[in-house]
Amino acid sequence: MMHSLQHGYKGYSIELTPRGDYCASFAADIRDGSGRLVSHLGVAGDTEERAVARGRELIDFELDYGSSH
């Protein structure tokens, strides 16, 4: 049975799935506060910690880019 892990960050949700593309162990879906898919990372990381860190980096980028454009 495949399940996902969820982490919250700055009003966004990082949903990890323990499978990834190529050699990654985790894929990640980043969703905004309304549940809209912002991004899918097929190669999020080899560990849960790294995958969450990449999700947080993407959220920070989204917030920075969104606030300046």
Please give the structure tokens belonging to residue 43: 């190669």
Q: Write out pLDDT tens, residues 12-56.
A: 999 999 876 677 789 999 999 999 999 999 999 999 999 999 999
What global pTM score does this model have?
Answer: 0.83
37 vs 3: CA distance, rounded Å:
18
Please give the structure tokens belonging to residue 20: 């990834």
Instruction: Please state, as a whole number, how many other Cβ atoms lie within 10 Å of the Cβ of residue 23.
Output: 7
End-to-end CA distance of the chain: 42
Any idea where the domains of the chain sit in the sequence? 5-68
Please give the structure tokens belonging to residue 6: 């969820």
Backbone angles phi, psi at 16, to 5 degrees: -95, 140
* pLDDT of 27: 92
